[in-house]
Structure 1
């Protein structure tokens, strides 16, 4: 029980980038007391379970502490006369990212599958930002036909695309397949955004200086890319499949930066932090209980969006490309995330699966 509990808490604290639609903020003082005097001692006494590249229980504890005592990042950069596309921006950190960019004067296009939620998000962003140049378009990242239709509409309807934020994703879900037969997590989190970026890249290049931001996770650190079974057909572990998809995000950003050298387009991947999640329904009852106890030390959706916004607008990053970020600062990614050979093999496989020409 303790082994499973520790692994799950470590896993979900570090992995979460989906946030609840209505984050509740901190729990009571009683919950905080319970966390420090029950949960922390459990972690400290527990045998250290090391994952890839040295991540251990101390990273769980330090992440919680940083979130509790964090100070906000701020930047007054304007985005007037710039256009941004954000996938999955109808809820959570995506919506908060859309709101921030709208407040900076950007034209914001919210791209998501559920148009009813998208329209509600557009209304909220317009009302909160005072920027009426906010729109929504249908995009289902689990269907390449939908991705191609969306990209075609953007290429025909927009004269520029200065910021592309690959934010949408699914996390540790039961086994399922996309419309094209890809395992859902690698299909949506990586292949869907890979295809979308490919189809919009010429427009992004013409709009330079431009940025492509992909939301990954610290989960990439214990991920591996199974080039022989990328769709987990020989066996499915939802945690490993998620970690694989997040490592794919980092490798994609790494490869893209190299391929875009000299174009004025820069790329970034990031870990949004320890964020409250609307995917707790996939956790067992005991782990859900513990997660409620640690929620005073997690980020809400506004805080969780800050590193995405940082990568999209921070002036000092204008000449940086291909890096990995966390807590609004450069961070170290796993060694696998900087493996040029693995990155190229994943690139070639992605092109093959999506029937597109490998550059």
Structure 2
């Protein structure tokens, strides 16, 4: 039995790296493609992953979600090497803090929305070659309009406006994909990884830990593993988190 082929964008740190680690340690039935903006980052991530025991196979690929040529070349490489893709995890993301509002919004939209749309489009034919394909978009509880409109919710007072806008847009991307391909085996999810240690907010320890409030991204990886193992199929087409489902 050939392993299921998984591709994770932005897999060299944070949620992407943790997810790759969880999947690689879970079973030999997964071959995880570590997709990063440079081949050097992908190779380095694999080296770090192999410092602990792994069961599944790992391979690097260059994929910059803000570069259409890079996306096309990566899809071609996966097609030539594997002929299909079983699981696509659109994880690469940014929470721009650029002082210019327009630039901040553009950076968030380019990486968090346009990138995943183009990546999914480029890899969709490969996904549809799989007998059991999954398309996963890393979103956020901050994207929920219902929670944002609730004055009692922490999301109501969040200052991460451009990031929230981009992740709400990603939810629509997921919903549209789920609707368009509902007659196929493709299962689409938007996944909130939770507040975890990540370079998303910056590179200082204060940013990475969100002032010490951020949790272990391995928990996020376990949530995603449960999705691709079919344990969350009852929530297909929804915005899920480790303990349930968030309202749109």
TM-score by length of 1: 0.58
1:145-187 Cα deviation digits (max 9, x unpaired) = 2111211222222222111111110113315999xxx922111
Alignment counterpart, residue 159 of structure 1, candidates 83, 94, 112: 83
Query: Is structure 2 residue 218 aligned with structure 1 residue 302?
Result: yes
Query: 120-129 vs 211-220, which deviates more?
Result: 120-129
Query: Is structure 2 residue 173 aligned with structure 1 residue 252?
Result: yes
2:16/2:91 contact within 8 Å kept: yes
Query: Is structure 2 residue 121 aligned with structure 1 residue 207?
Result: no
2:187/2:236 contact within 8 Å kept: yes
Superposition RMSD in Å: 2.8
Choose between structure 1 and 2: higher strand proportion: 2
Q: How far is 1:302 from its partner?
A: 1.4
Q: How far is 1:242 from its partner?
A: 1.2
2:133/2:186 contact within 8 Å kept: yes
2:23/2:56 contact within 8 Å kept: no
Q: Which has the higher contact order (CA 8 A, sep 6+)?
A: 1
Q: Which residue does 1:193 correspond to in 2?
A: 116
- After superposition, where does 1:99-118 map in structure 2 within 5 Å? 99-103=21-25, 104-105=27-28, 106-118=30-42
Distance (Å, rounded) in 1 between the aligned partners of 2:201 and 2:166: 19
Q: How far is 1:275 from its partner?
A: 1.4
Distance (Å, rounded) in 2 between the aligned partners of 1:126 and 1:252: 34
Given the superposition, is the C-alpha separation of residues 190 and 83 from structure 1 closer, same or farther in structure 2, using an over 3 Å criterion? same
Alignment counterpart, residue 316 of structure 1, candidates 209, 231, 244: 231
Query: Is structure 2 residue 29 aligned with structure 1 residue 121?
Result: no
1:228-276 Cα deviation digits (max 9, x unpaired) = xxxxxxxxxx932211110111111111111111211101001111213
SS in 2 for 1:137: strand
2:190/2:240 contact within 8 Å kept: yes
SS in 2 for 1:267: strand
Given the superposition, is the C-alpha separation of residues 312 and 191 from structure 1 closer, same or farther in structure 2, using an over 3 Å criterion? same
Q: Which residue does 1:331 correspond to in 2?
A: 245
Query: Is structure 2 residue 3 aligned with structure 1 residue 86?
Result: no
Question: After the TM superposition, which segments of 4 or more aligned residues of structure 1 sit over 4 Å from their partners?
Answer: 175-178, 279-283
1:86/1:167 contact within 8 Å kept: yes
2:23/2:221 contact within 8 Å kept: no
Distance (Å, rounded) in 1 between the aligned partners of 2:80 and 2:129: 14
Given the superposition, is the C-alpha separation of residues 311 and 177 from structure 1 closer, same or farther in structure 2, using an over 3 Å criterion? farther
TM-score by length of 2: 0.82
Choose between structure 1 and 2: higher helix proportion: 1
Alignment counterpart, residue 277 of structure 1, candidates 173, 198, 223: 198
Q: Which residue does 1:241 correspond to in 2?
A: 162
SS in 1 for 2:215: coil
Given the superposition, is the C-alpha separation of residues 114 and 241 from structure 1 closer, same or farther in structure 2, using an over 3 Å criterion? same
Distance (Å, rounded) in 2 between the aligned partners of 1:193 and 1:214: 8
Distance (Å, rounded) in 1 between the aligned partners of 2:56 and 2:210: 38
1:216/1:250 contact within 8 Å kept: yes
Query: Tell me, which stretches of 5 or more residues in structure 1 are unaligned?
Result: 1-78, 224-237, 335-359
